Structure 1
Amino acid sequence: MKITVFGATGGVGREVVRQALDAGHEVTAVVRDPARLPVPAHERLRVATVSDVTDQEAVLSVISGQDAVVSALGAASNKQAKATPVAGPALTAITSAMDRAGVRRLSAVSAAPVGPLADGEGMFTRAVVYPLLRRLLRDLYADLAVMEAAMSASGTLWTVIRPPMLQNKPGTGTYRRALDANVRGGRTIPRADVADALLTTLTDPATAGHAVGVAS
């Protein structure tokens, strides 16, 4: 499969690139600064520099002829809480470019608080954790909500992955998933497992047009 990865230099994005190469895919890693991509040169890896991922023409040039697109753009840390929105404008451009190029399959990382609380979730999470996160990081989650809306309105076969707090730990491959819901009691997940979810859903038609909650 030929896959374009946006946000390739981030914690999740670099894991997507590594895992996709390990799985035998051809990868186009979209970056602003190639020096920030800590992935060794590979015969199936193309590094494409795009300074503005909201520029539809620039985006079109890196997705034409591909089979699928993965977006790891999003909230990397709390320091970005007041940053200019990225994911929403970027996915608006990316999905429009995909429609023009005839590229259908798309997966993108969002965040658990953008989705609904899991059925049976504990009172502390319901009354304290989620309300606090949604208040403190409201700009980030608003950006991700715009991103999800742009994907839903597009002609793509999209899947949104909604993880809780991300960890820099080895992937387990045994994380839990919930279709159109968050995982009950889900608190954390390794970035490597989120990358796995982004890639495996590309070939899982049951997840097309759905959000998937993931957690350890």
Structure 2
Amino acid sequence: MKVTVFGATGGIGRLVLAQLLDAGHRVTAVVRNPAKLTLNHPELTVVTTELTDTDTVTEAIRGADAVISALGPSLKRSGTGSAVTDATKTIVAAMHTTGVSRFVGLATPSLADPRDKPHWKPKVLPLIARLAFPNALTELKNMTAAVTASDLDYTIARISAPKNTPSTGRVRSGFLGHDRIGSAMSRADIAAFLVSQLSETRYHRAMPAISN
């Protein structure tokens, strides 16, 4: 498959990129700072641009089978602005323009999926987030809404405690109140789940929570 990746220089995005290339996919990585991308591969194309540059983002997506976004907001309490929301809106618009419909991304259990049953996470986590990183919570809400309000064929994985630990190969996924989902998860396993959604149909237009 041909896949366009956003957030490819982040902790999860780098692993997504490596796993896609290892699996034989052709990948276009859209980055702001190519110096942060140390991976070199014959099937990798790097596009350097600001993520609000509609024309360049559109051309980076054109011809792709899917888009994977590992974008996420800064968790600094002092964070401001709407950079990730604006970038996601640009991506969604570019996907509509090019006719690419498959989107795989990330969010948080602070946001509910309609398939969830009553659960403590969507109640408690937003309270904590508003105190610890209020702008990040706003960004997560708005970037997710930009995708879910569209007609894209999306899967958004909700994660809560990514860890820099080795892959376990074990992934729990489902909906809060229905399935036994924990919190902590290896970034390598998060990346593996995102990549797996290129060929999975279970979570189309859904926001499963995932953990180890």
Q: TM-score, normalised by structure 2?
A: 0.89
Does residue 103 (structure 1) correspond to residue 87 (structure 2)? The answer is: no
Tell me, yes or no, if the aligned pair for 1:182 and 1:213 is still in contact at 8 Å. no
In structure 1, distance between residues paired with 2:123 and 2:100: 42
Shift in alpha-carbon separation, 1:199–1:185, aligned structure 2, 3 A: closer
Name the CA distance, whole Å, in 1 between partners of 2:182 and 2:166.
17
RMSD: 2.4
The CA deviation string for residues 6-62 of structure 1, in whole angstroms up to 9 with x for no partner, is 0100001000000001111011111111110132x1111111111x21222121010
CA distance in 1 between partners of 2:111 and 2:185 (Å): 16
| Alignment pair present for 1:212 and 2:208 | yes
- Contact 2:129/2:137 (<8 A) preserved: no
Q: Does 85-94 or 64-73 show the bigger shift?
A: 85-94
Q: Give distance in 2, aligned partners of 1:54 and 1:184.
A: 38
Tell whether the 8 Å contact from 1:98 to 1:104 is kept in structure 2 after alignment: yes
Distance between the aligned counterparts of 2:156 and 2:30, measured in 1?
A: 19
Contact 2:107 2:140 in 1 (8 A): yes
**In structure 2, distance between residues paired with 1:32 and 1:159:** 24
Indicate yes or no: 2:154 matched with 1:155. no
1:174 corresponds in structure 2 to 170
Q: Shift of residue 130 of structure 1?
A: 5.1
Provide the TM-score with structure 1 as the length reference.
0.87
More helix per residue = 1
What are the ranges of 5 or more consecutive residues in structure 2 without an aligned counterpart?
Answer: none
How far apart in 1 are the matches of 2:178 and 2:133? 18
Q: How many residues align?
A: 210
Label 1:181 to 1:42 Cα distance change in 2 as closer, same or farther (>3 A). farther
CA distance in structure 2 between the partners assigned to 1:205 and 1:140 by the alignment: 29
Q: Is the 8 A contact 1:175 1:214 kept in 2?
A: yes
Shift of 1:111: 1.8
Partner of 2:41 in structure 1? Answer: 42
